[in-house]
Every structure is written in structure tokens, then in C-alpha cells.
Amino acid sequence: MNTDWTTLFTCAHPAWKDARELKEPLSLPSLDQLRHFLNLVHIKYCLVKPYQEFPDYPLVETRELMPSFETDLWEHKGLPGFSLVALSRPLNYFAEIFQFDLLQPIDGTLRADHARARREKNLETVLSRLPRALHEEFRQIFQKEDVTDLFHYPRLTPFLTDMDRGHVFSLHSPNPRRTRFYLSGVYASLPSDLDTAIKRYGQRIAKFTLDDPDSYEKNRNFVFQHLMELYGFPVASERRTSAALFARRLHKMGERFLIRTLSQSDRTLTTLWSDGGNRPYPHVEKIALVRIDADQKDLIAQLAAGGYLVDDKRKVAILRVLYRQHSFSPDNVRQERALSVDSQAIIHPLTGVSLPGVSVIRDTTNMVLRLNDIVQGEYTGRIAYKRNEIVENTNTEEKRLKFLYAWLSKHQRRIIGYSDDFFAGFAKVLDTYLFAPERYDSFAGHHDLYQELITRYSYILQARKVRILEELGEHTFKGARVGYRRMLSEAVTLLHSLKFEIVSYFDSLVSTAIAIGETMLNDRYLLRAYIEKSDDALTAGGLEIKKNYGRLVALLDEFRAIQKRRAEIAPPE
């Protein structure tokens, strides 16, 4: 079936209600077609329409779409919110693993009186879950309509966003050639066994152990955040938590499904879907209204020429971001990374056509410019400091220190992975601010804030060295393949310099460095070809490898001794 998405988007326009051109139910037979259709309707009614109606609509900052996601501290009342689930199969009401009010499909196989009775029952089911103030308006619009037909979904959407719970789509198959999705339920509760999910996942990634109950208290927040981020959310509202854990459950069951949420807090359409491919996790996509940075002049010109801007004056566009999940690795210095940006696209506000290949939220040049604005006190925006305080703007020293700490914390794993050339410019801006003699008196008035910021920066500097050590363990250095000789030489140099930096001690980094070093030392080929041979049997290069192997052994012993001393003097938790 070839679908004209421009026509479908026109369906979402209010004028469409006056002239129905389709005599048969709207046919969307595939999950992918349903997703595109829902994109068009939800962009129209849940993003663009509220933006036009609310002068102070809170646009999503591009920073908010970069993992790790920030916890929302308040809801924006008056904006739409909803959740939905679509199952790519017919329903079995009794056997389903979640609760909802069932709606019955209507098609040409029904007698006229049966179709009328079913339509009236569906209307009453929806009405029973709507606020009473909306009943009269709803009856006037849908009294003689089949609310399960997706033809009516655009007009139904504003009512569904006033429901406390979610709605359901599934396939209706009167015959194999006329399979289609329809609205099959309302007032759905998506189950989430949060306690079991956290404990099982924590045990699987070895953050919890049954014989060490303290590990649960120590690592619970990390496990919870990592698990939620795999499914595109921060640790947030019940709606989003339930969506993430229900998607996890459906995916493990092998279902082909789609789950979508829109929160009044995040103002972002988040979609999780599985199309039956062999993937460890569902796809994650976010769509939001964002302002394009003024310094991205070429992109703004391209969007304006193609009509992609929702608001030409404010440079507002509809951004769609697709993410990639990363399995947990205990030996990765960026082990908290669960998600990264895979691709970005701008969606046309009238046709729904996507402009792929844009870079709105992953521009390293913008990162340095933004950092410079922060330290100069010229950045206008907001950020969550330690998850419980909103810092707006950077016009005081205290705000700058808090903003910078929160900003570095959010982008920490991204900064750790930057190239040396880029990081040099980044570090120059930061060093000029943090270690400028003329600021010492000002920083003295905020000693604790300054020290926690220095600690965060020290962690990033050390983690970058451990990240290079990780790459060396994979025989890679600065993007090039290296042999054992270069690998051991660079590892010894790196660990020797790191040893003198751990006056600011981070146990996770030291443990990771030791684990990577031990993996290098236990390389079977390295042992067989060089270490276990006598010196007489080795070339000059082989002797150098054996010498650096011994140096690496000694350095790791020093790191273990440091780790042991720190553990002995560490205060009890």
C-alpha cells in the first residue's frame, strides 16, 4: 500500500472534519505506517498547536535531548500529556497482561443494528473516562461516528490527552487483505514491577550481589538511572517509568509493539517500538520543538528555504532524534553510558517530510561556545543542579559554579570521549576560568562549590587517560592500530602520569585502570611470544616489549597498594 502522508497530515487539520472523502475505515496495516501517522497527528495537536496557543510555551532546550537525561522538577500545566500502546496483532482481552477498557471495531461485516449498538457502546466507554465538562462537546462531534476508526483520531486526540491513563491500538483482521489498526481501548494502565526490574538488572550487570546487601544501597540509584536511560527516560514520573518497563517486558516477550508518551514535564514525544528485528532493546525516538542555535546559520538558512521552521522569527523547528543503546560494561570508564544519539532529522511542519543528516544537538563547536558563555556569565538558560535545584542564568559567581558543575556532570561522558584537539580548546576555556588569580577571592566565598567543581574536572581529566588505556587494550591509539610494542610503551607512560594525579582519588577509575592493565598482562599471545621466552631468543623489539611488561606489572602493583591504603583509611559509609 502506498500511503500519501501529506494527505494524512491534512486529515489532522480542523477543516477536514467538514468533508470526509474516505468511505471505508482508514487503513493503516503496518506498525511503521501507524507510527508515521501518529507522528503527524501528535506533532500537530500536541506540539505545534500548544506552541501557537501559549505565548510562553516552554521550548525544549537541545541539551535536554542529549543523554543522560535530566530529571524534570515541575510540570507545565495546561499542556497535553498522554501515553499509548499499540500491539501489532489482534487483541485477546482476557489474556492481555495489562488493564484497559475495550473498544470494539466496526466494519462492513456487521448488520446495521449491530454496528449502531457497538458504536454507541464505544461512545459510552470513552465518555465514562472523560471529565464531565467535556461530555457535551464530545457528543456533538462523535455522536454518529465510529471512534475506533483512525480517520477520527486527529479530532479525538485533544480528548484523549485529558484522560488520566493511556489508550490502545491493535490490529483488526476481518480478512487477511483488509488488516488495519484501530483504536481498541482507553484508560489503560501499563504495569511496571519496578522493584523486581531494578533488582534483576542490578544483579545481571553485577552491581548487586546476594551476599552483599550493602551493594544494593550503594548502587541502586546508578542501576535505576542506567535501566531507565536504556529506554529513553530519566528517573521521572510514573507515566514514563511504566512506559519504559512495559516496553522492556513486551520486548522480552517478542511482541511487535509501539509505546509512546508525552509528559507535561518534558514536552517531548518519546516512542519505544519493536518491529520484530533481532535487537537487544526497542528503538528509542524523541520528537520535540526546539530553537536552533543562532550560530548555526547555514542550517537555519536551509530550513528557512525549505519551509521547515515552525516559527521563522524564533528559529523554532521540529527535531526528531533516534538513539542507540549501549550494553553495560564494568570495565568501561564511561560505564554509566546507556544511550547515545544515533541520528537527527528536522520534520516539515506542513507535510511531515523529514530532512535527515542535520546536526542540531551534537555540534562540538557549539559545546565550546556554550562553555565560554557559561564562564563569562553570559549564558541564559536553566539547568538542574544535583537534581533538586533549578539554576537560571549565570549572572553571579555562585550560579556560574553551580551551572558549570551541573553542565559538566551532564556532559561528562561526552567530554571524556572527545578528541585531544577538541579537548585542548575545551580545557583552555575551563582552566582560564578556574585557575585565574583574579578570581581566587571570589571563589573563596564559595569554597565548597569551587572544590566540588574542581573534583568533577579532575575526574574528567583522569577518566580521559583511562579511556585512552581502554583503547590501548584494544590495540588502538589515536584512531590507529598499534602492536604490542606501542601498546605497552604508551600504557606505561600513561599509567606513570596518572599515578601522580590521583591525589584526587576516584576508586572507580583506579579499579578500571587495574582491570584493563591486568587484561593486557594476561594476553595469551603476548605471554607466549615474548614474556615466556628467554632474552636470548628475543629481538631488540621483543626485549623492549618484555621490559615494558615488567614496568606495567610494577605500576599495577603500585596502584593496588594505593587502592588498599585508601580502603583502609576510608571512613565507614
pLDDT tens digits for range 544-566: 999 999 999 999 999 999 888 88
What average pLDDT does the chain have? 86
Q: CB count, 10 Å around CB of 477? A: 17
Residues in the chain: 573
Residue 48 has a pLDDT of 94
Residue 204 pLDDT > 70, yes or no? yes
| Cβ-Cβ contacts under 8 Å for 290 (sequence gap 6 or more) | 59, 60, 61, 62, 65, 316, 317, 319, 360
Mean pLDDT of 438-456: 90
pLDDT digits (tens, 9 = 90+) for 211-239: 888 888 888 988 898 899 999 888 888 88
pLDDT confidence tier of residue 262, bands split at 50, 70 and 90: very high
Output the pTM of the full model: 0.77
Separation CA 436–CA 135 (nearest Å): 65
Residue 504 has a pLDDT of 82
Residue 15 pLDDT > 50, yes or no? no
pLDDT digits (tens, 9 = 90+) for 465-481: 998 998 998 898 887 89
Q: CB count, 10 Å around CB of 38? A: 22
Residue 518 has a pLDDT of 93
Mean pLDDT of 241-248: 93
Residue 8 has a pLDDT of 41
Residue 177 has a pLDDT of 66
Residue 14 has a pLDDT of 38
Mean pLDDT of 66-90: 85
Residue 390 pLDDT > 60, yes or no? yes
pLDDT above 70 coverage of the chain, percent: 92
Counts for the chain of helices (H) and strands (E), in that order = 19, 15
Judged by average pLDDT, the poorest of 59-63, 69-73, 441-445, 517-521 is 69-73
pLDDT above 90 coverage of the chain, percent: 45
The residue among 296, 293, 298, 289 whose CA lies nearest residue 317 is: 289
pLDDT confidence tier of residue 13, bands split at 50, 70 and 90: very low
Residue 142 has a pLDDT of 93
- Catalogue the long-range contacts made by 46-50 (C-beta closer than 8 Å, 24 or more residues apart): 46/80, 46/82, 46/157, 46/161, 46/262, 46/269, 47/267, 47/269, 47/287, 47/288, 47/289, 47/318, 48/289, 48/310, 48/318, 48/349, 50/78, 50/79, 50/80
Residue 298 pLDDT > 70, yes or no? yes
Mean pLDDT of 383-387: 80
Residue 5 pLDDT > 80, yes or no? no
Separation CA 373–CA 370 (nearest Å): 5
pLDDT digits (tens, 9 = 90+) for 481-522: 999 999 999 999 999 998 888 778 888 888 889 999 999 999
73 or 456: which carries more pLDDT confidence? 456
Residue 3 pLDDT > 60, yes or no? no
pLDDT digits (tens, 9 = 90+) for 16-48: 343 344 456 788 888 999 999 999 999 999 999
Residue 120 has a pLDDT of 93
Residue 19 has a pLDDT of 35
Residue 4 pLDDT > 50, yes or no? no
The residue among 361, 443, 365 whose CA lies nearest residue 400 is: 443
Residue 407 has a pLDDT of 86
pLDDT confidence tier of residue 331, bands split at 50, 70 and 90: low
Task: Give Rg (Cα) of the chain.
Answer: 28
The alpha carbon of 156 is separated from its chain's Cα centroid by a whole number of angstroms, namely: 29
13 or 490: which carries more pLDDT confidence? 490
